[in-house]
Amino acid sequence: MGYAVSEPGTTRAPSALAIKILIAGGFGVGKTTMVGTISEIRPLHTEELLSDRGIGVDDTSGVESKTTTTVALDFGRITIRDGLWLYLFGTPGQDRFWFMWDELALGALGAVVLADTRRLQDCFPAVDYFEQRGIPFVVGVNCFDGARRYEPGKVRRALGLAEHIPIVMCDVRRRASVRDVLTTLVTYAVKGA
Amino acid sequence: MTGEDPGPLIRLYGLTGGRARPQGESFDLVAIVVTVGDLPQPSDLLPEHRAVLSLCRRPTPVADVAAHLRLPINITRVILGDLRRDGLISIERPRPVAQTIDERIYREVLDGLRSL
C-alpha cells in the first residue's frame, strides 16, 4: 500500500478526519473528568510552553515574572472508525490563558460549556466567548452531589441563553450521561436548532 | 530512577533551535499528518523526527503526534513544520468544519457515540 504523494496545487481527498470538540467552563467544574469518562484513552496530557507575551495582559491581579510558563492541555479521543475520530479538548480554566482559546476554537465543531449551579457565574465567560464567535455550544449542567437541582428553565434565564441553545443535565462521571451531552452537541452543531 | 535529566528546556531548545513557531502555513491541532511514502529517510534525522515518520505512516492528528512524542504541542508543531519543509510529511490544510461533516459522517458519529 502506501499513500499517494499529493501533487502541488491539488487537494487530495481527505483520507482521515478528526473532529474537534471543546469542553469549557469554570475552573474545577469537571472538564477533565468529563474527558476522562468518555475517552478511550487516558486523557492525554500535553503542556504548552508559553513565552511571557500575552500572559497577564488581561490579568491585573498578578504579574508573571517568569519568562516561560506552561499550561496543561488535556485531551481525549473517541475512535468512530479507522480514520474518523472525535477529539475532546478541555479548555484552560484560568482566565489568563484566554488567548489559547482562539486557537483551540478554530475549526471546532462545537463546544460543551459545563456549568455548576453552585457557581453558575463561572461559565459566563465561556458562554460569551462562543456566542460572540458563533460557535455552536450546548450547556451541560453538571449535577454534583449535594448541589441543588435546578430546572433547565432557571439555568437558561440565569445565563440569558436563547431558546434554541440546548441545556442538558448531566453527571460527568457517568459515561452514558457524557454520551448524551455529546450526541446533543453533535446534532445541534450539524442540524441546528 | 537513575540518570540525570539535562533539563527539558535544553532538550526542547535543541529540537527547535529555539523557534516557537513552525515553518510555513499554519495547521490545526487536529490536522492530519501523513508520512510521504517511499522517500528514503535522510540519515541525520533526530529520533523525534524518525518517530513522527514512523507513526504517521498511518494518518495521525497533530495532537496525537504530540502525545506520542510526549512533547508540548508548540514544539511538536515546529518539528512537523521542519519535516513538511523537507517534503517528508504532508499536513492537511484547514477545512471549514461544515464542509467536512456530511450526512454520512454525521450518522457514523452518532452511531459511534451511541454504541459507547
**All domains of chain B in start order, with CATH:** 8-114 (1.10.10)
Residues of chain A contacting B112 with CB distance shorter than 8 Å: 78-81, 84, 86
Of B11, B113, B114, which to mutate for an interface test with A (greatest number of A Cβ within 10 Å)?
A: B113
pLDDT at residue B110 in the model = 95
pLDDT surpasses 80 at B101:
yes
Q: Which residues of B touch A83 (CB under 8 A)?
A: 59
Confidence category of residue A117, pLDDT binned at 50, 70, 90:
confident
Q: How far away is chain A from the Cα of B113, in angstroms, using its nearest Cα?
A: 6
Q: Which CATH class is domain A17-191?
A: alpha beta
- Minimal-distance CA residue of chain B relative to A109: B97
Q: Which residue has the higher pLDDT, B38 or B43?
A: B43
- For every residue of B65-96, DSSP letters joined together read HHHHHT--HHHHHHHHHHHHHTTSEEEPPP--
Question: B7 pLDDT exceeds 70?
Answer: no
Residue A54: pLDDT band with limits 50, 70, 90 = very low
Q: Where do the structural domains in chain A lie, given as residue ranges?
A: 17-191
Judged against a pLDDT cut of 60, whether residue A160 lies above it is answered with yes
Q: Do B100 and A16 touch (CB under 8 A)?
A: no
Which residues in chain A have Cβ-Cβ distances shorter than 8 Å to B30? 18-20, 87, 107
Q: Once rounded to an integer, what is the mean pLDDT over residues B31-52?
A: 88
ipTM > 0.95 for the complex: no
The amino acid at residue A137 is F
Q: Which of B76, B69, B88, B68 is nearest to B20 (CA)?
A: B76
Q: Output the nine-digit C-alpha cell for B63.
A: 495532537
